[in-house]
Amino acid sequence: MGLPMSSNLQRKGFDLNVFDLDAGRMDQLAALGARKAASIADAARGADVVVTMLPATPHVEAVVLGADGVLANIDAGAVLMDMSTIDANGTDRVARACAERGIAFTDCPVGRLVLHAERGESLFMVGADDPTFDRVKPLLDAMGTAIHRCGAPGMGSRMKVINNFLLLTVAEVCAEAIALGTKLGLDIETMRDVTGATTAQNGQLHTLMVNKVLKGDVTPGFTIDLAFKDMSLAMTAAAEQRIGLPVGAAAHAVFGGARATDFATKDYSALLDFACERAGIAPPRLKA
């Protein structure tokens, strides 16, 4: 997600200084005019807004709070905008550390798919005070088409956990439904068209799967391994709040089983192929 969003920023006139462990991603942004930073510290120095987009809570805390990290090098008066999907408790720790340093902070996790990010059509769930939101809004406008204010810092992360818990659980139900329909002899076009015309219509089947796995494409936009991480965030939050999530727990277990196989690094739409493999049937594909 970080690469297409950064690309949109660079194309729309923002001055980017970028760092990634994958040098190839930096090269793609440099081809658009961005400067390649030599380190996290180099990326943070001199920036008006430092944007982080990382896989999980430990990565965010290491990059932001580490000895050579963002907070050790960020300029006074700058903003830290974390766009990662992480444990809300981790977001709170980062927010407190920023407050102690007098650095403005906002959590702005991202909704929608990679294909939306490439088109500059992402959705953002923002936790921020008003002055900080006003400073980052031009960047959000350049990367997306929908901005939702969710409350104070930390509330964007909380909303993202709920959003991903819902969509990932629905994705597993869709995979099971299609596997069952295939076993019953229904063709995938019929299942797509009928469910798309009833209240069974949903983004996981009718946007995600028809653009990924049902075309035979399981290259990762969002891996099953990361999906398991996000489901785990929801299950942990539920345990902390003493709330039972029985259906979610079942879906979480399926993601856990899938990530123990070669499916771990595939796009999460490959849940369909995983369900079909368990059912002993060939996964359906849409006709060209």
Rounded to 10°, the helix 130-143/2-11 angle is 90
Structure tokens at 2: 């970080």
- Cα 267 to Cα 236: distance, rounded to the nearest angstrom: 23
Structure tokens at 178: 């299609």
Contact 134, 113 (CB under 8 A): no
Among the listed residues 87, 100, 79, 82, the one whose alpha carbon sits nearest the alpha carbon of residue 58: 87
Structure tokens at 119: 């088109």
| Placement of tokens 């005070």 in the chain | 129
Structure tokens at 235: 């299950």
Active site residues: 160
Residues in the chain: 288
Question: How does strand 17-18 pair with strand 49-52?
Answer: unpaired
Question: How does strand 122-127 pair with strand 110-111?
Answer: antiparallel
Contact 287, 192 (CB under 8 A): no
Contact 76, 102 (CB under 8 A): yes
Structure tokens at 197: 């015309």
Indicate the SS3 state at residue 24. Answer: helix
Q: Would you tell me how many other CB atoms lie within 10 Å of the CB of residue 209?
A: 26
Contact 176, 51 (CB under 8 A): no
